Amino acid sequence: DIQMTQSPSFLSASVGDRVTLSCKASQNINKYLAWYQQKLGEAPKLLIYNANSLQTGIPSRFSGSGSGTDFTLTISSLQPEDVATYFCLQHNSWPLTFGSGTKLEIK
């Protein structure tokens, strides 16, 4: 199975900060990576698919980059409503596997 490693596991930042989250795959997954946001008690929400494509309706402060094994989710200006856990998904190979998440809080 492909292992997905996210870092950091916890991040505290101030409103307006530029925030960068990392997701690394144990082998090449091409561009087949998605990012999700999950708030407490809610369903996960798709933010980014195919590494850098913004899902419809998601604010433009969210962006994704990377290919192969190294991927990044960037929030250009952190907002209070961005408090959530963020996780990545690889869909290059079976079984589909997830990262363990980054919990993002406001300082």
**Contacts to other proteins by CB under 8 A:** 34, 41-44, 46, 49-50, 85, 87, 89, 91-92, 94-98, 100-101, 103
Smallest gap from Cβ 87 to other proteins, in A, equals 7
Do residues 23 and 99 lie in contact, with contact meaning Cβ atoms separated by under 8 Å? yes
Q: How far is the CB of 99 from other proteins (least distance, A)?
A: 8
Burial 26-56 (b: 16+ CB within 10 A, else e): eeebeebbbbbbeeeeeebeebbbebbeeee
Q: Which is nearer to other proteins, 74 or 93 (CB)?
A: 93
- Tokens 């419809």 belong to which residue? 56
Contact between residue 32 and residue 26 where contact means Cβ atoms under 8 Å apart: no
Shortest CB 20 distance to other proteins, Å = 19
Of 42 and 80, which has the nearer Cβ to other proteins? 42
Comparing CB distances to other proteins, the nearer of 96 and 106 is 96
